[in-house]
C-alpha cells in the first residue's frame, strides 16, 4: 500500500489459553481510505479490532495510531485520540432518546457548548436519515434503525479512524444500499476500517481489502486483486489452490 498509514499494528497476537486468535498480525490502515477486513467465521477479525480499539488486551505486539504507540492505553483514551468503534452486537443506550444517544457521543468533544452540540446532533441524525426519530426512545427503534443509530454515534465523534464491526449484519436489502451510500460519502472525510461479511458491501465500498484466516493475514490488496486471489478463494470455499 502506497498510501500514508494512519494506524499500524506490529506483531499483534492474542492467545486464549493455547489457541491463537490472532498471531503476529502486521497491518497498515491507509489514511482517508476505506479498508475492509474480511475472512471466514472465526478468522480473528473481531479479536483484531478489539485489540486495536482497546477492548481486548493484546498478548503481545504493538498498535500505533498517528505515529503514537497506543498499545498500553485503555480503550477510552484511544477513543479520545480519535478512534471510534461500533459494536458487532448493537450497543446503544436503550433507555435514552435517540437524540441523547448521539448527544452523548458528541458531548465528549463539544462539552458544554450546547449550541454546537445541538447543531452536531441534528447534522448527524439528518445525515444518516433518522432525524425524524430524535425524540423516540432508542430501545423502541427497529433493529435496522438501532444499527444506524450506532453508526450515527460513531460519526458524532468526528473520528479519525472509524471501526465498523459488521455494520450491515441483520439489515434489510434497502438499508444495506443506504449504508453503502453513507460509507461512500464518508470517503476522504475519515478513515474507515470495515469488518464485513456482505461481499456486495465490501466490493462497492472498499479501496483496500485485508483477508484474515486462522488469525493471520492471508492476503492484502485492492478488491480486484483479492477477487482474483486463489488463496482467498480456497480459504472461503475450501478448494485446493492451484499450484
Partner 1 sequence: MTSSRKSTLLHLGVLALLVVLFFVLPPYHAGNLSRIMVLAIYAMGYNLLFGYTGLLSLGHAMFFAAGMYGFGLTLNLGGWPVPLAFVAGVVCAGALALVIGLLALRTAGVAFMIVTLMFAQTGYLVVLYFGTYTRGDEGFVIQQAQRMLGGFDLTSETGRYVTALILFAICFLGLARLVQTPFGRTLVAIRENEERTRMLGYDAGSHKLRALIISGAVSGVAGAAYALLFGYVGATFATVQYSIFPLLWVLLGGAGTTIGPLIGVFFMFYLIDTSSTYTNAYMLIAGVVLVLLTVFAPQGLAGELRKRVFKWLP
Binding residues for partner 1, rule: CB under 8 A, are 53, 55, 74-77, 79-80, 85, 87, 91-96, 100, 103-105, 107-108, 111-112, 153, 157
Minimum CB separation from partner 1 for residue 107, in Å? 5
How does DSSP assign the chain, residue by residue? --SPEEEEEEEEEEEETTEEEEEEEEEEEETTSEEEEE-STTSSHHHHHHHHHTSS--SEEEEEETTEE-TTS-HHHHHHHTEEEE-SS----TTSBHHHHHHHHHHHHHTT-HHHHHHHHHHHHHHHT-GGGTTSBGGGS-HHHHHHHHHHHHHTT--SEEEEESTTTT--HHHHHHHHHHHHHHBTTBEEEEE-S-HHHHHHH-SEEEEEETTEEEEEE-HHHHHH-HHHHHHHH-PPPP-
Minimum CB separation from partner 1 for residue 108, in Å? 5
Kindly tell me which of 143 and 224 has the beta carbon lying closer to partner 1. Answer: 143
Kindly tell me which of 153 and 219 has the beta carbon lying closer to partner 1. Answer: 153
Kindly tell me which of 193 and 226 has the beta carbon lying closer to partner 1. Answer: 193
Minimum CB separation from partner 1 for residue 55, in Å? 7
Sheet architecture: strand order including 34-38: 83-86, 161-165, 191-195, 34-38, 208-213, 216-221
Instruction: Cell numbers for 18, please give them.
Output: 493455547
Minimum CB separation from partner 1 for residue 85, in Å? 5
Minimum CB separation from partner 1 for residue 35, in Å? 20
Kindly tell me which of 72 and 77 has the beta carbon lying closer to partner 1. Answer: 77
Minimum CB separation from partner 1 for residue 226, in Å? 29
Kindly tell me which of 118 and 220 has the beta carbon lying closer to partner 1. Answer: 118
Kindly tell me which of 10 and 109 has the beta carbon lying closer to partner 1. Answer: 109
Amino acid at each position: 500500500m502506497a498510501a500514508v498509514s494512519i494506524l499500524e499494528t506490529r506483531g499483534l497476537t492474542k492467545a486464549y489459553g493455547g489457541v491463537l486468535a490472532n498471531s503476529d498480525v502486521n497491518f497498515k490502515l491507509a489514511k482517508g481510505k476505506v479498508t475492509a477486513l474480511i475472512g471466514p467465521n472465526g478468522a480473528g477479525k473481531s479479536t483484531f479490532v478489539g485489540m486495536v480499539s482497546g477492548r481486548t488486551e493484546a498478548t503481545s505486539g504493538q498498535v500505533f495510531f498517528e505515529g503514537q504507540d497506543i498499545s498500553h492505553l485503555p480503550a477510552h483514551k484511544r477513543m479520545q485520540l480519535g478512534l471510534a468503534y461500533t459494536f458487532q452486537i448493537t450497543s446503544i443506550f436503550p433507555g435514552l432518546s435517540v437524540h441523547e444517544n448521539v448527544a452523548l457521543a458528541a458531548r465528549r468533544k463539544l462539552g458544554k457548548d450546547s449550541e454546537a452540540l445541538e447543531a452536531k446532533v441534528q447534522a448527524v441524525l439528518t445525515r444518516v436519515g433518522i432525524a425524524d426519530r430524535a425524540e423516540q426512545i432508542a430501545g423502541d427503534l427497529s433493529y435496522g434503525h438501532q444499527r444506524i443509530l450506532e453508526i450515527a454515534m460513531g460519526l458524532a465523534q468526528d473520528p479519525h479512524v472509524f471501526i465498523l464491526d459488521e455494520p450491515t449484519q441483520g439489515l434489510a436489502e434497502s438499508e444495506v444500499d443506504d449504508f453503502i451510500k453513507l460509507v461512500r460519502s464518508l470517503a476522504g472525510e475519515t478513515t474507515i476500517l470495515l469488518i464485513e461479511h456482505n461481499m456486495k458491501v465490501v466490493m462497492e465500498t472498499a479501496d483496500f481489502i485485508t483477508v484474515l484466516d486462522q488469525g493471520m493475514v492471508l492476503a492484502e490488496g485492492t478488491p480486484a486483486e483479492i477477487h482474483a486471489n486463489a488463496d482467498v478463494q480456497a480459504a472461503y470455499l475450501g478448494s485446493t489452490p492451484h499450484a
